[in-house]
Structure 1
Amino acid sequence: MLDGFGFFELLVIAVLGLIVLGPERLPVAVRTVSGWVRAIKRMAGSVKNELEQELKIEQLHADLKKAEAKGLKDLDPDLQKSVQELRDAAASVTRSYQDTDTSTPTAAPKEESTASSTDADAKAKE
């Protein structure tokens, strides 16, 4: 991060900061600037990870097109690996949706019980 700065440059910046900000506000300013730098690094890392994921998806898509062009037979090992990764990803997505569908109860009985209790309350008031 500080590749372009030598010891002398850092010393000049520290002395100028001490003169301009004073000894009371300099530590606060340093913490604030370091927080900004950390946030910028985090955002840059996040963008980098997202771009890497997008590039990987694009590569898998291109490999799948190549595999489909060859008829999914006599594929290179790299293409076979890409096709298998896509199949595994599709199976995991399908599995997670099936698990979600079976684990969540339907909302219809709850609505009926609420409606029947409302009807019973109305009859009791009459």
Structure 2
Amino acid sequence: MVKGVTTYYAVTDPNYQSIADIKAAVESVYTKQVATEHFYKNRIDNTSHPAFIEENGKLYVSPGGIGGGYTWDIDGLTMLKTENPNVVFIQIECEGYGSITNETIKICKENGKWLLGSVIY
């Protein structure tokens, strides 16, 4: 299906049949704030070129432009000191696109579940 200049393909995975299913999957990994500010804003609520649309009860996706080619040194991660028992920061080495960096990732406890509180690509 083509809408304007964007081509969409029917989603065939039975686990993802609606935008609500996509949001539930995102919110099982990211905090609501990160999901809203970084994923929904750019991939769902973007009215000019959303990545996901529903048409006639069917979910469609315009793939591309999300994610990156990084590797993470899970064995070498370091937990950083925090004063809040519901927030943890970890530092981890990341290699991607020919460079190595140390990234700090925020993990937050929301409703009894630990979720990513920062974006990682």
With normalisation by structure 2, the TM-score equals 0.23
Query: Which has more helix, going by share of residues?
Result: 1
Query: Which has more strand, going by share of residues?
Result: 2
